[in-house]
Amino acid sequence: MLSAKGYALKPHRVETFKFSWDPQLKEKVVDIVWLYPNLPEQTLVLVVDEKSQIHALSRTQPLLQLRPGQAERRTHDYKRNGTTTLFAALNIATGEVIGECHHRHRHQEFLKFLKQLNKEVPDKELHLILDNYGTHKQEKVHKWLNRHKRFHFHFTPTGASWMNMVEIWFGILTNQAIRPGSFDSVAQLIREIKAFLSRWNEGAKPFVWTKTAEQILAKAVN
């Protein structure tokens, strides 16, 4: 009798992929990949996104701490205590992150975040890399951009959020600060996010983009 093991087959393994059907795929990939290593003088490139629905979860029982030969233990059940949305902008030259939490995830909150960037990063041309979420293209956002000419938006291809490097930072935040924690309130969760932001920026280092536009596009069409 033949077995999967005998042929080194692993039918239980599943991998996923997502292909972008954006008609402007090539133009957007080339635009963004050019920006990553080619920062013009007096210009900042910020990778912007929102991490929505961050839950303030409190464990039903206290954590059982590490002991010799025994892993930290936590209950699988928890209580939901509300949510927050983190708006974040990653400076690709330094790795530093500007972040702010809001209760909702609408164009109003996005405009507040743009105004925060306008205040915290004065006197420079700002190129923002964003995804195609409707909030980023809302009419009032367009009107604000028309009044603030130093802001320039660059949109990632549809279905290609992996081109937005702030997603890497969101993963680090989740693994190091949010998932291990237990939060009795949204206010406590926000305090932990702000504390993590401060610690991160004290020792921030930039992420390094390694793929060329040609390599990305070659893989996308094959």
* Domains of the chain and any CATH numbers: 25-220 (3.30.420.10)
Phi-psi region of 34 (alpha: psi -120 to 50; beta: other; left: phi over 0): alpha
State how beta strands 151-155 and 125-130 pair: parallel
- pLDDT over 60 at 63, yes or no: no
Of 44, 129, 122, 124, the residue nearest 88 (C-alpha):
129
pLDDT exceeds cutoff 70 at 182: yes
Question: What percent helix, strand, coil does the chain show, rounded to 5?
Answer: 35, 25, 40
- 100 sits in which H/E element: strand 97-102
Please give the single-letter amino acid code of residue 21.
Answer: W
Range in 34-48, 91-105, 127-141 with the lowest mean pLDDT: 34-48
Q: What is the pLDDT of residue 17?
A: 45
**pLDDT level of residue 95 (50, 70, 90 thresholds):** very high
Question: In the structure, what pLDDT confidence band is assigned to residue 61 with cuts at 50, 70 and 90?
Answer: low
Helix (H, G, I), strand (E, B) or coil at 1: coil
**How far is the C-alpha of 80 from the C-alpha of 57, rounded, in Å?**
5
Band of residue 40 on the pLDDT scale cut at 50, 70, 90: low
**Of the given ranges (11-20, 39-48, 75-84), which has the lowest mean pLDDT?**
11-20
Q: Where are the alpha helices (DSSP H) in the chain?
A: 25-35, 107-120, 139-147, 166-173, 186-202, 213-220
Distance in angstroms between the alpha carbons of the first and the last residue of the chain: 37
For the full predicted model, state whether its pTM sits above 0.85: no
User: What average pLDDT does range 145-169 have in this prediction?
Assistant: 91
CB 209 within 8 A of CB 36: yes
Greater model confidence, 41 or 30: 30
The number of angstroms, rounded, from the C-alpha of 61 to the middle of its chain's C-alpha atoms is 31
Instruction: Flag whether pLDDT at 11 surpasses 70.
Output: no
